[in-house]
Structure formats: C-alpha cells, structure tokens
Amino acid sequence: MINTILFDLDGTLIRCSQETFIKKYFAEIGKVFANIGMDGDAAVSAVWAGTKAMLTNDGTESNAKKFWQVFARCLHLSEADIVDIEAVCDKFYANDFNKLKELMEPTDIPQRLIKEMQRKGYELVLATNPVFPECAIESRLNWIGLKPNDFIHITHYKNSSFCKPNLGYYREIFDIIKKTPKQCMMIGNNPVEDMVTGKLGCELYLVTDCLENEADIDISTFRHGSLEELESYLISL
C-alpha cells in the first residue's frame, strides 16, 4: 500500500526551464566568486567539475565532500579557503539566489497538493537531485510557498552520496525513511532520472509540463500528465 510520496523539485513542483535556470544560476554565482577576489570564470569551471563529480559519486563519501574536494583541486585551494568560500556560497543561497525566482512560472498547485496529501495522511519526501546545499533547497521551496517541515526528508549534498539516476540515491532515501519501494510513489519530470525508481518497485508518475527527455524515451509506458492532472490523480487516491 502506498503511504509515502517522493517529489522531484525542478521541473516538477517548480515550473521552470532547466536550461534558463542553469544559465542564470552560473551567471549569478560567478559574480559571488568575483566579488571575493577570485577569477569568476575559473571558479564557475570548478563548480561544473565539482558538480560532475557529484553526479558520478559512487557512495564512498558525501556529495558535498566530493564537490569541495574537486573544487579545491581545480583552483589549488586549502581546506581553510574552502571553509570561507562555502560560507560565502551559503549566504548567496539564502539571499541573492532568490533572484532566480523570477524565472519560475507562478502556480499555487504545489501548495494545494502538498497540503492535501498531508491531510490524507501521506508522508512526503523531497527527492531533488542532491547537488545543492540544504539552504539553497530551502530557498527554492520558499519560491513555491513550501517549507522544509512539509517533508519527512529532503535530499541535499551533505546527506547524500549518490545522484540520480543511480539507484543508490533512492536506496539511501528508503533506508533513511525506513520504507520499502513498494510503499512509495515517485513523481518527477525526467523519465531517466526519476522513473528509474520503477526498477525498485515504486509506483510512478511523470509530470510533463517541463518534461526533460533528452533520451527520447517513450513516455506512454508511464502514468503521466500535467501538474494539474497529477493533482487530480493524487486527490483521487
């Protein structure tokens, strides 16, 4: 019996073009590095390298450790340097990062949906690809009127040691929340990264408003629809 719902964030609860978001994000964080005397372009390249390291992480250490190790190595930085830079980045995510909210298509569906699922007694997990710190995810949740305590678990780069679509990422979640895949439904907008949970036994729903399907997978094999149609479906459960 399904009693837990895992939600992806970008392109699922947040309606936004991933390409536009990434372009604006790297422009803004480049300014952060430049403002503290770093070479902005080199630092952005190091962020890309660190992100790629997280996406291929094998579970031996947290994504955060993997990211900052690679970032430091690219720019020849010390551990003390990284402590200071991480603090500056966290401040950015709590403040100027919120400029990116303007890229989001406004909708009140996420608030209604989360509130209704809570009322129906479901436990909710925010299963967003864990390449950002927790403070960045909190900011993005605020963009859609949600709070961290709306979820029993939120994945971020310090509490995860895999990324999507590695099944290890999802197994970590199930271990933490003490649920079996068959008790869970995964909702996301990517047939590779999100729907892979079907291999573990999860129920699936593919949100198509901001569909990311670079592999051109036949989505007819998944239950799918718009965020509005998802709302109707979940309320009917």
pTM for this predicted structure: 0.97
Instruction: Summarize the confidence of residues 59-68 as an average pLDDT.
Output: 98
How confident is the model at residue 47, as a pLDDT?
98
Q: Render pLDDT for 86-134 as a digit per residue (tens, 0 to 9).
A: 999 999 999 999 999 999 999 999 999 999 999 999 999 999 999 999 9
Instruction: Summarize the confidence of residues 15-31 as an average pLDDT.
Output: 93
CA–CA dist 170, 181 (Å, integer): 9
CA–CA dist 203, 139 (Å, integer): 29
For residue 39, which phi and psi values (nearest 5 degrees)?
-75, 110
Assess contact for 139 and 21: CB atoms under 8 A: no
Instruction: Summarize the confidence of residues 191-205 as an average pLDDT.
Output: 98
**17: pLDDT confidence band, cut at 50, 70 and 90?**
confident
Residue closest to 85 by CA, chosen among 130, 32, 41: 32
Instruction: Summarize the confidence of residues 42-64 as an average pLDDT.
Output: 98
Whether 12 has a pLDDT exceeding 90, the answer reads: yes
Contacts of 149 (CB under 8 A, 6+ apart): none
Return the structure tokens found at 96. 């100027």
| pLDDT, averaged across the chain | 97
Assess contact for 182 and 3: CB atoms under 8 A: no
Instruction: Summarize the confidence of residues 4-14 as an average pLDDT.
Output: 97
For the chain, percent of residues with pLDDT exceeding 70: 100
R_g over Cα of the chain: 18
How confident is the model at residue 18, as a pLDDT?
87
Whether 135 has a pLDDT exceeding 90, the answer reads: yes
Whether 2 has a pLDDT exceeding 90, the answer reads: yes
Residue closest to 197 by CA, chosen among 136, 149, 125: 125
CA–CA dist 230, 113 (Å, integer): 9
